[in-house]
C-alpha cells in the first residue's frame, strides 16, 4: 500500500515538474506581449498629437504640413 502511495506521489511530482517550463514560457510570452502592446500604445498615443507632428514637420522644413497641422490643432481647441 505504501509503495502505491509513493508511486502516485512520485508520478504527480514528475507531472508537476514537466509543467513548469511550459508555465514559465507562457508567462514570459504573456509578459512580452503586454510590454510590446503597452509600448506601442504609448508611442501611438504620444505621436498622435498634432502639435508634436507639426513641430516635427517644421523641424524637417515642411512648413506647409506644419501650418496645416497647427490649423487643425487650433480647430480642435478653439
Q: What is the DSSP string of 20-38?
A: HHHHHHHHHHHHHHHHHHH
pLDDT digits (tens, 9 = 90+) for 11-26: 666 666 778 888 999 9
Is the model's pLDDT at 74 over the cut of 90? no
32 and 52 housed in the same domain? no
Sign of CA pseudo-dihedral 9, 15, 20, 26: negative
31 and 1 housed in the same domain? yes
CA atoms of 54 and 57, how far apart (whole Å): 5
- Global pTM reads 0.45
Domain limits for position 26: 1-36
- Work out the percent of the chain whose per-residue pLDDT is above 70: 71
Total structural domains within the chain: 2
C-alpha cell at 68: 496645416
Within a domain: 77: yes
- Mean pLDDT score of the chain, rounded to an integer? 79
Within a domain: 41: no
2-47 and 50-59 helices, crossing angle to 10°: 60
pLDDT for 76 equals 58
Amino acid at each position: 500500500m505504501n509503495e502505491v502511495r509513493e508511486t502516485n506521489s512520485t508520478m504527480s511530482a514528475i507531472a508537476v515538474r514537466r509543467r513548469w517550463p511550459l508555465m514559465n514560457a507562457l508567462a514570459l510570452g504573456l509578459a512580452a506581449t503586454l510590454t510590446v502592446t503597452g509600448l506601442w500604445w504609448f508611442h501611438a498615443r504620444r505621436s498622435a498629437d498634432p502639435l508634436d507632428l507639426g513641430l516635427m514637420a517644421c523641424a524637417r522644413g515642411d512648413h506647409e504640413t506644419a501650418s496645416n497641422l497647427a490649423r487643425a490643432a487650433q480647430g480642435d481647441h478653439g
